[in-house]
Amino acid sequence: MTHTESHITDYRVYGWVLLALLILTTITITVTWIDLSALTVLVALIIASVKSFIVLRYFMHLKFESRLFTVFVVMVLSIYILVIALTFFDYLLR
């Protein structure tokens, strides 16, 4: 199969993405000084998820490629989440 189309992203977009990632990293570090007790892990995970979302969409081109890839990513993520949930559900009920 040959490439019928290719997408060229403006460098400025990448610049913004970099900036966003740096800011989010700063937030991650900053919140570790605040004591959130049980929520600590949750907050860290949420920030990390936002970062991976941005990376997936721009650096990994999900925004510009066929919808099929988005479907794949969502499917894989749901399986992953279900597996984790089932494992922890054993721990919580033990």
Residues between 14 and 43 that touch other proteins (CB under 8 A): none
Compute how many residues bind other proteins; rule: CB under 8 A: 15
Rule CB under 8 A: choose which of 39, 42, 81, 82 binds other proteins.
Answer: 82
Instruction: Write down the least CB distance from residue 79 to other proteins, Å.
Output: 6
| Helical residues (DSSP H) of the chain, grouped into ranges | 11-31, 40-54, 67-93
Instruction: Write down the least CB distance from residue 91 to other proteins, Å.
Output: 8
Count the neighbouring beta carbons within 10 Å of the beta carbon of residue 66.
9
Instruction: Write down the least CB distance from residue 75 to other proteins, Å.
Output: 9
Quote the tokens at residue 11. 């460098």
Q: In angstroms, rounded to a whole number, what is the distance separating the alpha carbons of residues 44 and 25?
A: 10
3-state class (DSSP) for residue 57? helix
Residue 55 found at the interface with other proteins (CB under 8 A): no
Instruction: Write down the least CB distance from residue 1 to other proteins, Å.
Output: 5
Q: In angstroms, rounded to a whole number, what is the distance separating the alpha carbons of residues 55 and 78?
A: 18
Contacts to other proteins by CB under 8 A: 1, 68, 76, 79-80, 82-83, 86-87, 89-94
